[in-house]
Structure 1
Amino acid sequence: MAKSALLVMDVQRVIVERFGDDPDYLPRLNRAIDAARAAGIAVIYVVVGFRKGYPEVSPRNKAFGEIAARASAGGGFAGGPATEVHPDVAPGPDDVIVTKKRVSAFAGSDLDMLLRAAEIDSLVLTGIATSGVVLSTLRQAADLDFGLTVLSDGCLDGDAEVHRVLTEKVFPRQADVITIDEWTKAVTA
């Protein structure tokens, strides 16, 4: 029987502020988190974070290089309240927080080791953004032979059409794609 974990990825204050157009997103995501905890499914938060000065970021990395350059003006992902998990979906005492260094939840983190040690072989993916962390993590997790489910309304993207194409056309090739309500009914039944 599959042993699952719910991944809540990049739902940090600074990211939620950028993608906060859906006021129902955090309450909806919280329902999934509550259902996972009630069903004994591990909840793993994945956050992006760097050391002060961003020594992990190459200037050749287009996305993170720009973040590191802007960070010298203040903010960024080198700690502080802006990089914490949004308080509306805060980690509980038994939840795990994994810090990654790139887009995929696996890149520069110990996520794979934690999953293997806990004998988790199935992942339920949520997060911001659909075209970022969710897509990258899904592709890498599929290559690592994890069973995959994507909670379509547990993901957000800045481009609604990109979100739709990914969740309706791309993700179903490697994952089951369902809503939070469908998933919570299944795990609490």
Structure 2
Amino acid sequence: MINTAFIGLDYIVDITEEGGKIASSAAHAAERNCIDNANKALHIARKKGWLTILVKVGFSLHYYEQPKNSPMFSKVHISNALALEGKGTNFHSALDVQPTDLVIIKPRVSAFYGTMLEAALRANKINRLVMAGVSSVWAVQSTVRDAHDRDYEVYVLEDACAAINEKMHQTSMEMLSIIAKIIHIPDMTNL
């Protein structure tokens, strides 16, 4: 039996909304209607009875989990970016978050690193993942690669992903097509 989960990655204020503290992909996400498309995907997933998971990157008050040697994360504390106590790690104001969604906080790029994600997937006997998020280049690629290496059947919902620009996004999708199936929202009805 195939059990499926939809995983939405980093649809948070600091990353996906104009004015977010590290929102280099916000304009592309808006251009591609990522949040609207993520909502469509969440609606389909809920209707099909799939486990719906929303993942956000963030750090606690004193940034204890912050990797100080990471070029990506080493300076986020200076601007209070990705602070779990702040508004920047709230989900995008237009994202349709429901009480039944499993919310996971991650301290790194991949949703599997240092989180309860795999335990939740195994407990629910999930073997197929449909993933989307911002950014295609970082969170999506990293989590898809980890899922692939954990033997999940992986799909990437291309129209609910964004990057800094279309070229980077398309390059990411091309790379991921080797280890995952790239799909669009209408394809979800056939899964």
Asked if Structure 1 and Structure 2 have the same fold, meaning a TM-score greater than 0.5 normalized by the shorter chain, the answer is yes
Aligned pair 1:47/2:56, yes or no? yes
Q: Deviations over 1:164-183 (max 9, x none)?
A: 1221x211111110111222
3-state SS, counterpart of residue 65 of structure 1: coil
Higher helix fraction (1 or 2): 1
Percentage of identical aligned residues: 29
CA distance in structure 2 between the partners assigned to 1:49 and 1:25 by the alignment: 20
CA distance in structure 2 between the partners assigned to 1:69 and 1:111 by the alignment: 29
How many residues end up aligned between the 2 structures? 182
CA distance in structure 1 between the partners assigned to 2:50 and 2:70 by the alignment: 35
Corresponding residue of 1:65 = 74
For 1:173, which of 158, 174, 178 is the aligned residue? 178
Aligned pair 1:146/2:155, yes or no? no
Corresponding residue of 1:123 = 129
Corresponding residue of 1:136 = 142
For 1:35, which of 24, 36, 44 is the aligned residue? 44
Q: Deviations over 1:83-110 (max 9, x none)?
A: 1111322321211000100000111211
| Equivalent position amino acid for 1:7 in 2 | I
Please say which of residues 16-25 and 111-120 is displaced more in the overlay.
16-25
3-state SS, counterpart of residue 67 of structure 1: coil
Corresponding residue of 2:20 = none
Q: Is the 8 A contact 1:8 1:45 kept in 2?
A: yes
Contiguous gaps of at least 5 residues in structure 2: 18-22
3-state SS, counterpart of residue 74 of structure 2: helix
Q: Is the 8 A contact 2:11 2:92 kept in 1?
A: yes
| Equivalent position amino acid for 1:2 in 2 | I
Corresponding residue of 2:120 = 114
Q: Is the 8 A contact 1:48 1:77 kept in 2?
A: no
CA distance in structure 2 between the partners assigned to 1:104 and 1:76 by the alignment: 15
Q: Is the 8 A contact 2:7 2:129 kept in 1?
A: yes
CA distance in structure 2 between the partners assigned to 1:11 and 1:77 by the alignment: 15
Corresponding residue of 2:12 = 12
CA distance in structure 2 between the partners assigned to 1:89 and 1:48 by the alignment: 16
Aligned-residue CA RMSD (Å): 1.4
Residue 123 of structure 1: how far off its partner (Å): 0.7
CA distance in structure 1 between the partners assigned to 2:67 and 2:177 by the alignment: 33
Residue 34 of structure 1: how far off its partner (Å): 0.3
Corresponding residue of 2:190 = 186
| Equivalent position amino acid for 2:181 in 1 | D
CA distance in structure 2 between the partners assigned to 1:69 and 1:82 by the alignment: 14
| Equivalent position amino acid for 2:43 in 1 | D
CA distance in structure 2 between the partners assigned to 1:26 and 1:58 by the alignment: 28
Corresponding residue of 1:160 = 166
3-state SS, counterpart of residue 94 of structure 2: helix
TM-score of the superposition, structure 2-length normalised?
A: 0.90
